[in-house]
Amino acid sequence: MKQSDLGIVGLGVMGENLALNFDRNGFAVSGYDLDDTKRENFARRTHAAAPRSLQELVASLRTPRVLLLMVPAGAAVDAVLADLRPLLAAGDIVIDGGNTRFTDTQRRMLELEGTGILYVGAGVSGGEEGALRGPAIMAGGHVQAWPRVKPMLQAIAARAEDGQPCCDWMGPSAAGHYVKMVHNGIEYADMQTICEAYFLMQQLARLQPAEMSEVFAGWNRGELSSYLVGITAEILARTDPETAKPMVDVIVDTAEQKGTGKWASQAALDLGVTAPTIADAVFARTVSAVRAERAAASQVLRGPSLAFAGDREAFVEKIRRALLAAKVCAYAQGFQLLAAADREYAWDLPFGTVAGVWRAGCIIRARLLEDIRRAYVRDPKLANLLLDEHFAAVMADSHQALRDVVAAAAQHGVPVPAFMSALAYYDSYRAARLPANLLQAQRDYFGAHTYQRLDRPGKFHTKWTEA
């Protein structure tokens, strides 16, 4: 029997679609799952081998073996690795293609030290459709594995407009899964800002979903062009067949999450990175989850009138520009998260390559990513995306619209936490002086934490109270 090029463990929708993608690109695949039904369905749909055990799966692969784990992140990955280790030899490669927390990838690589087994943490973005037709793939781990897996992974990846595969090497250790985590953090912020744009048009401009669909479709033909803006236009155009109401109006306003946005926010706190728009997008989901409390609070807590007397068309244009400004700030925060990890872990992250990989296949694919890629090609050590000439000009042209939209939202009681935090981030970053001098004096007052002076170096303490 011909041996397979790749073994996939975990035959859910993602695993099965990736198998079809590999097969379409000329790679023979074997697949294994604990679930007999999934194995049978996999064999029937893909016409690939579906061994009944991990031992048979490993035996079906040509050496050195390559295995792709598509099982739920966490304990399931550890369990599969524990079962695989005795079956593998030095030079064999294990790719974790799940939404794994980067610290787990770091730990697993340490645990595999001395075995000769090469571990790759690969962030895969694009959902079910991307897995089948071309995802974005962010690979990292043992660098010796890359020459072997590169042709396979780049073959199945999406292609950007210039033909480049949206798959590349991010760096050693957990660099791949860290980049994927940041991708998801930006995704949270991107989705929240789009939702706030929709909410402002609904609450203040009083547009109907069909009208908003046309607005988003128009935006998707310009500088805001992106996968998320495009699907928003499609969602707002859809009618519920049961009630004939706009589909969006029959969906409960409670958002779920899988944790990657939270991980990105935690990493920002751990590394001392300012990423408020990403964090506020996470908090927006958590407050949406207390729906019953919000309904009760709406009967008790009072706010301003929602009556809006402005020019609707002009206001919608301001929302467009505000959305662009907020999106740029969210990406700037994401790349600051990458830079901080690069300093902490010495991964030598290729920021331009990261932006290039995100141009197609992934959820945050957008026209502006080519501009981001070019920014980091011009200056690989760019301190902040906002300082790039192009994006500084974008913000110069759009920050006033963001201010006007945030002010209107505040005056009329419409919650827009991501827009507000993006504006605060922009204004804080451009401030030559902040009130942290008073804060440091407070810390010195109650805790003798000392402070620095403007007029001479050193650490100082003041005795603020008389004995």
* Predicted structure pTM score: 0.95
Mean pLDDT (the chain, rounded): 96
What is the token pair recorded at 144? 């010796």
pLDDT at 13: 92
Query: Residue written as tokens 């480049």?
Result: 164
Say whether the peptide bond before residue 276 is cis (omega within 30 degrees of 0): no
Catalytic site residue from 187, 196, 318, 327: 187
Does 187 participate in catalysis according to the annotation? yes
pLDDT in tens, 163-173: 999 999 999 99
pLDDT in tens, 1-12: 579 999 999 999
Read off the amino acid at residue 347: W
Catalytic site residue from 38, 180, 262, 318: 180
User: 397: which residues sit within 8 A by CB, 6+ positions away?
Assistant: 321
Q: Are strands 167-172 and 29-32 parallel, antiparallel or unpaired?
A: unpaired
Task: Report whether 427 contacts 325 (CB < 8 A).
Answer: no
What is the token pair recorded at 31? 């697949």
pLDDT at 467: 57
pLDDT in tens, 129-159: 999 999 999 999 999 999 999 999 999 999 9
User: 128: which residues sit within 8 A by CB, 6+ positions away?
Assistant: 13, 14, 17
Does 180 participate in catalysis according to the annotation? yes
User: What's the rounded Cα separation, in Å, for the pair 463 and 61?
Assistant: 73
The model's confidence at residue 258, banded by pLDDT at 50, 70 and 90, is: confident
pLDDT in tens, 208-238: 999 999 999 999 999 999 999 999 999 999 9
pLDDT in tens, 347-374: 999 999 999 999 999 999 999 999 999 9
| Domain architecture of the chain: domains with CATH | 6-173 (3.40.50.720), 182-429 (1.10.1040.10), 437-467 (1.20.5.320)
User: What's the rounded Cα separation, in Å, for the pair 268 and 338?
Assistant: 10
pLDDT in tens, 304-360: 988 888 899 999 999 999 999 999 999 999 999 999 999 999 999 999 999 999 999
- How far from 431 is each of 278, 424, 425, 427, 434, CA to CA, in Å? 21, 10, 10, 6, 6
Q: Is the pLDDT of residue 428 over 90?
A: yes
User: What's the rounded Cα separation, in Å, for the pair 49 and 70?
Assistant: 17
pLDDT in tens, 70-83: 999 999 999 999 99
Any long-range contacts for 31-40 (C-beta under 8 Å, 24+ apart)? Answer: 31/7, 31/57, 32/7, 32/8, 32/56, 32/57, 33/9, 35/11, 38/11, 38/12, 39/11
pLDDT in tens, 443-455: 999 999 999 999 9
